[in-house]
């Protein structure tokens, strides 16, 4: 390990302590030599930028200052999927539970919403409903996932889609507004 890498890790750990990042999120593939320690770069960059912009303060893992994580105590994901919080324009509204299955990829500008404004009083929110995504899903750019949606494993959400209902069986491509199944995927791969 080179001196630059060692310095990056030392600085990253100092920022992680200062930001009170939870150690459970500072593990996994992004903190290994194979991925060039990208996780420590995120820790350093996100800690500085979020503090400067006064966003995502108190979040127990690194989140880009260009995205928002609200109610982060209700957001569950595997540390290997920390990359989902590193790009621009995403909004994770965790008023209710958001569960992101392992291996799921979320593109930029995706909104995951667990509670909408009340139709009777826009100053209030309706009761929160969980959003659950299975393993190995792909959520395309500019998509919106609304309260109460469950996506089964290997669900691909086409770019710009608005997902208003659940697709719990998974293994499909959904797209449109409102999203509907446009293609079924094989549940097993043949070698």
Q: What is 36-99 written as a DSSP string?
A: TTHHHHHHHHHHHHHHHHT-STT-SS---TTSEEESGGGEE--GGGGGGGSSSS-EEETTS-EE
CB 154 within 8 A of CB 137: yes
Helices (H) and strands (E) in the chain, counts: 2, 14
Query: Is 117 assigned a catalytic role?
Result: yes
Would you give the DSSP letter of residue 167? B
CB 65 within 8 A of CB 52: yes
Catalytic-role residue among 20, 78, 87, 117 = 117
Distance of CA 28 to the CA centre of its chain: 16
Angle CA 159–62–47, to nearest 5: 125
Distance CA(173)–CA(98), nearest Å, equals 21
Which residues are identified as catalytic?
Answer: 117
């Amino acid at each position: 390990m080179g001196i630059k890498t060692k310095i990056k890790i030392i600085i990253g750990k100092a920022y992680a302590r200062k930001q009170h990042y939870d150690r459970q999120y500072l593990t996994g593939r992004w903190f290994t030599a194979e991925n060039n320690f990208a996780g420590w770069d995120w820790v350093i960059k996100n800690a500085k930028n979020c503090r400067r912009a006064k966003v995502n303060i108190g979040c127990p893992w690194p989140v880009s200052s260009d995205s928002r994580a609200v109610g982060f105590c209700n957001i569950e994901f595997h540390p290997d999927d920390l990359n989902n919080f590193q790009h621009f324009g995403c909004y994770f509204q965790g008023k209710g539970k958001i569960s992101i299955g392992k291996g799921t990829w979320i593109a930029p500008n995706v909104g995951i919403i667990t509670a909408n404004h009340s139709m009777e009083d826009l100053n209030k929110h309706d009761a929160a409903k969980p959003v659950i995504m299975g393993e190995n899903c792909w959520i395309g750019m500019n998509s919106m996932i609304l309260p109460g949606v469950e996506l089964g494993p290997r669900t691909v959400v086409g770019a710009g889609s608005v997902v208003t209902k659940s697709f719990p069986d998974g293994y499909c491509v959904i797209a449109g507004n409102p999203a509907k199944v446009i293609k079924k995927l094989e549940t097993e791969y043949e070698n």
